[in-house]
Amino acid sequence: MHVGHTGVDGVPCWIAAAATGALKLKIAETARLRLRQLTLDDAPLVLALLSDPDFIKNVGDRGVHSATDARRYIESGPLASYERYGFGLYLVELKSPADEIGMCGLLRRDTHADVEIGFALLPRFRRQGYTLEAARAVVHLATGPLGLTRIVAIVAPFNLASIRILETLGMKYERQVNYAPDGSESSLFVLATATKGSAH
């Protein structure tokens, strides 16, 4: 199944064939980016992302401190999520010049029932609009082919850069939550779309 057309906000070319098993790697393209499924070969990028001091400060220490850790994270995280839920975190790469720059995608955690959007880019690719462009693509995937009517984001209250991105996506602050293993407070942002057949 191919679902796609030239969209708005730099989000064209949807490819969504998970229902038939035809979808292997590529998930979406935007004006500047390509999103694809992660593989174990992406361990060096995952290690760089998850060991970045800003990631550890804003998101947390995921215990990824070696290539072996990174491969284990990919296998038990994104790859398991693709198999179980049909979505997960995706690798984000520049189309021209070709370069791997980060991750963005959807997560379902044991700590809460909602599907969560998450993103992380390498430091040198931040503040260039790439995170927002990738996140918009993921929102289109979630609310379009995947049919989700509610997406959340969990963000540290001091992570103002990520909060600005969430607000630009149309997500609204809902409340403070305590989902982190250390008990620290996070801000819950929500994007809720109308269900089919609902009144407007």
Domain boundaries, the chain: 18-192
Mean pLDDT of 18-43: 80
CATH class name, domain 18-192: alpha beta
Judge whether residue 112 has pLDDT over 50.
yes
Residue 23 scores a pLDDT above 50: no
Residue 79: pLDDT over 90: yes
Give the torsion sign (CA, 109, 147, 173, 138). positive
> Would you put residue 127 in left (φ > 0), alpha (ψ -120 to 50) or beta?
left
- 27 φ, ψ (degrees, to nearest 5): -110, -45
| pLDDT exceeds cutoff 90 at 141 | yes
Adjacent-strand bridge partners of 106: 117
Reduced to 3 states (helix: H, G, I; strand: E, B; else coil), residue 94 is strand
Q: Stretch 121-147: mean pLDDT, rounded?
A: 96
The pLDDT of 159-174, averaged and rounded, is: 97
Determine the angle formed by the axes of helices 43-50 and 67-74, rounding to 10 degrees: 100
Inter-CA distances, 3 with 16, 17, 19, 155, 193, Å: 6, 8, 12, 31, 20
Mean pLDDT of 6-22: 36
Which residues 6+ apart lie within 8 Å of 186 measured at CB?
Answer: 154, 155, 156, 157, 176, 177, 178, 179, 180
Average pLDDT over residues 95-101: 94
Coil, helix or strand for 104? strand
**Segment 86-90 mean pLDDT:** 97
Contact (CB, 8 A) for 115 and 108: yes
For the cut 70, the answer to whether the pLDDT of residue 200 exceeds it is no
Residue 194's pLDDT is 66
Q: How confident is the model at residue 82 (pLDDT cuts 50, 70, 90)?
A: very high
Mean pLDDT, rounded, for 111-139: 96
* Per-residue pLDDT at 3 exceeds 60: no
Evaluate if residue 22 carries a pLDDT over 70: no
pLDDT mean across residues, the chain = 86
